[in-house]
Chains A and B, each alone.
Chain A
Amino acid sequence: MRNPNMQDAELAALALAGDREAFGELVGRYAGQARRLARAVLGDPDEADDAAQDGFLAALRHLGRYDPERPFGPWLMRIVTNAACDRRRRRKVRAAEPLSERLGSGEARPDVVTDRRGFQQAVVAALETLPERQRIAIVLFDVEGYSHREVARILGVPEGTARSDVFHARRTLRSELGAWKDWTEETG
């Protein structure tokens, strides 16, 4: 394994020169982010993994265009986002019924299914109700810790639009998950 202190840009340069180990290190560093982001877009974990893999391979093919003066994460996340969104657009028939339809019907009340798994499903269901861009924005901002400016760059929108997306996404999620407030306070 490479030195964990090695900068992303150094690893990218090595990977560009054909160093598979350096590329593997980069994939390892960003695998979690990429997979979560793709899953937020696509819902289905397997399809999300395929999209994340598409993103990594596309990034590898275009490593020559990466500007080492800029952070690697936002550059990679933009590629992964595009890969996931492309896959979502190509998808003609969803492999599985949307979680929002299953969980949003009212039968899985928080006071009945008060377990962690139920809450997580509710979060995914609430996420499904968001427009695609808001979904990506809130995951990048609140989960992955990217700044509004970086989120804007990844999404290819003005910074104000990214702020607005995060704001609306938060408001919707808080509204959707409001019934779980007590549970999260007790267990969170």
Chain B
Amino acid sequence: MNPTSPFDHRPDPVLGAALRAALATEDDAAFARRVVESAEAELGGAGLWWQELIVWARPGLVAALLVVAAVGFALGALVQGRAAPANGATVLGDPLTEADSGLAVPVLLAGEQAPEVDLVLGLALER
């Protein structure tokens, strides 16, 4: 065999040639055609761009779910806020039309005599 040192940084041409001959392959062109046909069968007519999309599909799906969850949460909070305002929120009403008091407008109007102006104004200011 070649007398060159095993530490030689260059390829050993004799050993290389012997290995190349021993590992020789036949008809590389036919092999290449077979590989290309397999690639076409596997990937179809599409390009490889969708393969890249597949790589990003999972994180993209997770991100989309997070966005949907956040929007849903926000909408839910908004709807709930309209139905039951938080404590301390200002509620506007008309004291003259509320009937939970014995001196409410319907009571005042029920009598035959018109109510006194001072009484009506006093009630409104108390509320």
Choose one: B6, B25, B47; the contact of A18 (CB below 8 Å).
B47
**B1 contact set on A, CB distance < 8 A:** 173-174, 177-178, 180-181, 184
**B54's closest neighbor in chain A, by CB?**
A61
Closest A-chain residue to B26, C-beta based?
A45
Partner of B23, one of A17, A124, A180: A124
User: Do B48 and A64 touch (CB < 8 A)?
Assistant: yes
Q: Does A150 contact B (CB under 8 A)?
A: no
Do the beta carbons of B52 and A64 come within 8 Å of each other? Answer: yes
- B6 A171 Cβ-Cβ under 8 A: yes
In the complex, A150→B21 CA distance in Å? 23
Main secondary structure on A side of the interface with B: helix
User: Which positions 1-59 of chain B face chain A at CB distance < 8 Å?
Assistant: 1, 6-7, 9, 11-12, 14-25, 28-29, 31-36, 38-40, 42-43, 46-49, 51-52, 55
When distances are taken between beta carbons in the complex, the residues of chain B under 8 Å from A158 are none
Whether B18 and A49, one on each chain, are in contact in the complex, defined by CB atoms closer than 8 angstroms, is no
Known: A35-B28, A39-B25, A61-B51. A27 touches B19 (CB 8 A): no
We find that the number of chain A residues with CB closer than 8 angstroms to chain B is: 52
B9's nearest neighbour on chain A, judged by CB, is A148
What residues of chain A lie closer than 8 Å to B16, measured between beta carbons? 142-143, 145
Pick the residue among B25, B34, B35 that contacts A36 (CB under 8 A). B25
B35 touches A143 (CB 8 A): no
Q: Which residues of A contact B34 (CB under 8 A)?
A: 53
Give CA–CA (A102, B27) in the complex, Å: 27
Q: Which residue of A lies closest to B11 (CB)?
A: A142
**A166: B residues at CB distance < 8 A:** 6
Question: Which of A121, A127, A148 makes the CB contact (< 8 A) with B19?
Answer: A127
Find out whether the CB atom of A53 lies under 8 angstroms from the CB atom of B48.
no
A160-183: contact bitstring with B at CB < 8 Å (1 yes, 0 no)?
000100110011011001101100
Query: Smallest distance from the beta carbon of B12 to chain A beta carbons, Å?
Result: 5
Q: Are A143's CB and B23's CB within 8 A?
A: yes
Residues of A within 8 A of B9 (CB): 148
> Which residues of A are found within 8 Å of B14, using beta-carbon distances?
184, 188
Q: A17-B48, A139-B19, A188-B18 are in contact. Are A60 and B43 (CB under 8 A)?
A: yes
Chain B interfacial positions (CB closer than 8 Å to A): 1, 6-7, 9, 11-12, 14-25, 28-29, 31-36, 38-40, 42-43, 46-49, 51-52, 55
